[in-house]
A and B are shown apart, each in its own frame.
Chain A
Amino acid sequence: MNGSRSRSLAGLLIGLGLIAIAAVIAVDAMHMRVPPVHARVGPRVFPLLVSCGLALSGAAIAWQAWTRTFLVEAQDTDWGAVAIIAAGLVLQINLLKPLGFIPAAIILFMAVSFAFGSRRFLRDGVVAVVLASVTYLAFTRLLGLQLPPGVLKGLL
């Protein structure tokens, strides 16, 4: 690994983030009302152990980041592509019920293929429509699973 030996801000943030999650778990565990019968081996013990483990790991990572031993491969990051896929997922989550599975899946598919650098919209669109329709029909008709029909309700 070609790590750059510099203080890693990302490593520091990851470490602190883990400590924060550990704190949330610990607070949640302390707020449980535990019946006295279960006082010793109740539902609190394990979360507290996990919380300790997370906090220690977080501290170790933060320390490594500070002492320049948290090595991260230098990489050329295309944040735009990440954001487009994330947007595709958020859109799909919000449109699945109102628009239905097929349109939501087409939007997600197009977003992902665009993020991966494809600009052949016609090809991607055809693949997306076929894939979404075939899986919808296979899942609802053959496997008997429920998927939201949405705007295409009357058509399918």
Chain B
Amino acid sequence: MESFSALMDGFATALTPINLMWSLVGVTLGTLIGILPGIGPALTIALLLPVTRTLDPTGAFIMFAGLYYGAMYGSSTTSILLNTPGESGSIITALEGNQMARRGRGAAALATAAIGSFVAGTVGTLLLSFLAPVFVKLAIMFGPAEYFALMVLAFATVSTLLGASMVRGITSLMIGLAFGLAGTDILTGQPRLVFGIPSMLRGIDTVVVAVGLFAVGEALYMASRRDLREAVILPIQGSLFMTREEWRRSWKPWLRGTLIGFPFGALPAGGTEIPTFLSYYVEKKLAKNPREFGQGAIEGVAGPEAANNAAVAGVLVPLLALGLPTSATAAILLAAFEQYNLQPGPQLFTASGSLVWGLIASLYIGNVMLLVLNLPLAGLWVRLLSIPQPLLYGGILVFSTLGVYSLSNSVFDLVLLFAVGVIGFLMRRYDFPVAPAIIGLILGPMAEAQFRRALTISQGDPSVFVTHPLSLALLVIALLVLLVPAVISLVRARNAAAPLA
């Protein structure tokens, strides 16, 4: 019950006028960027970092978390009406949602997405409130060896589960790790990958890499594809009040989506994409009439939309309790914590309790705000979709260069941004997932620090990682994550070849 009283204190923090304002700013901005294709929560938070440096951290994090939730609400609108997802967590929503809109049931699709997001967001936040303290108790048992093993597990899952193939995922991770190496080694002051350039001594800023990969890389890629330039916006048709039948078909997928989304967010499994795919698959299997899937089945919108919001709540559990980011946005949030010299993990709950619980409480409030913003006001937001692509990307690049330049008033950072942007373009073009690179960039230096700390404690004996039971268990799971998909595909290939032989 201690977390209950802490949560009540959190509400006291979150309900102050200034924090309510930050929450409103966050959810509004989140809905906006969720709706706009080409700009997502990770990029937006990265661009806001230089601006929020002087803000009170509690207000800033309330805004960031509201933004993350809001992006999941907003992106469903784009999926449904434009058939291009606003964010990767809504790819699957486009399948059924756009079909519903084509058949004149767009309003019902928007409604089930918004209400499902609300149900999942609220249940997810509830689970977060009570699970985070449990994770904190677990985290206290962690030493450097266990933390290192946990990060290795996160590396293994994000690079296997995201993207078209494991090789591509691992490559992306390695690129991120390589970016993380550059700069002055903290423990010895040794310059690494500096090449005699003084500006490189402070390393490559997270914001530069995130903005380069997400904004510049994306703009170059979208410009290169003539076929992706024209999209048809469907009008909202039908009533926003769902019929009794639609409610009946929606409530179970909402709850199932929540139960699928939350644990996937909390596990180091790369955020919101996978649970939405899984939820869609489950709904299709359970449907009385699976034929309807692909032609506008409301379950296919309700389930995945609940799953992506629940996953966001899940992502916050390991982020706050362990300092372990499991999605690209969470990795940027971790960089935000670093900016304020805050260390997520057990210390955060004791030293900055009012920040953590104020943040969690604000999510309950933010969810209510988002339901209001996205349901009755859906018609207003839709107008954003009519912003012509040339102006949208022109604006994104102006803001991106502005954000990167204002990090430290350095033109060299803009040169780096350009270089990273070209890498981002190549990664998109050749189908490499971007999220593992972001996670590698942020977690890499931390993993190295824990690795060296563990070895210093053991006086250079590398067996610490396998003699500590918890660390061994985590490393074995990481190994299985890497090996099992490879074995499965090998067996499949054999079975497929067998009838021919």
Contact = CB atoms under 8 A, between A and B. Distances in A.
A101 B401 CA distance: 10
A109 B226 contact: no
B12 interface: no
Nearest to A28: B193
B409 interface: yes
B452 A78 contact: no
Contact of B390 (A32, A40, A90, A112): A112
A6 interface: no
B398 A82 contact: no
B405 interface: yes
Given A89-B401, A93-B411, A124-B394, A38 B188 contact: yes
B9 interface: no
A109 B167 contact: no
Contacts of B401: 89, 92, 105, 108
Contacts, number: 189
Interface string B378-403: 00000000001111011101110110
Interface in A27-49: 28-29, 32-35, 38, 40-43, 45-47
Interface size class of B (residues with CB under 8 A): 35 or more
Contacts of B173: 53
Contact of B402 (A82, A97, A105, A144): A105
Contact of B418 (A90, A114, A116): A90
Contact of B187 (A11, A43, A50): A43
Contacts of B181: 25, 46-47, 50
Contact of A147 (B397, B405, B411, B455): B405
- In this complex, the member of A46, A75, A101 whose beta carbon has the largest number of chain B beta carbons within 10 angstroms is A46
B430 A108 contact: no
A117 B451 CA distance: 50
Interface string A112-135: 111111100000100110011001
A2 interface: no
Contacts of B286: none
Contacts of A145: 50-51, 406
A104 to B, nearest CB: 8
Given A43-B192, A79-B224, A116 B398 contact: no
Contacts of B177: 50, 53
Contact of A146 (B171, B409, B425, B429): B409
Nearest to B178: A50
Interface stretch (B81-89, B215-223, B256-264): B215-223
Interface of B: 50-51, 54, 164, 167-168, 170-171, 173-175, 177-178, 181, 185, 187-188, 190, 192-193, 216, 219-220, 222-227, 229, 388-391, 393-395, 397-399, 401-402, 405-406, 409, 411, 414-415, 417-418, 421-422, 425-426, 429-431, 444, 448, 451-452, 455-456, 460
18 contacts: A25-B178, A34-B188, A38-B188, A46-B448, A46-B452, A50-B174, A78-B226, A82-B224, A85-B397, A96-B414, A105-B401, A108-B394, A113-B390, A114-B390, A115-B390, A117-B226, A135-B398, A143-B51
Give 8 nearest A-B pairs by CB, closest first: A118-B390, A113-B390, A116-B390, A81-B223, A43-B185, A41-B455, A57-B171, A40-B460
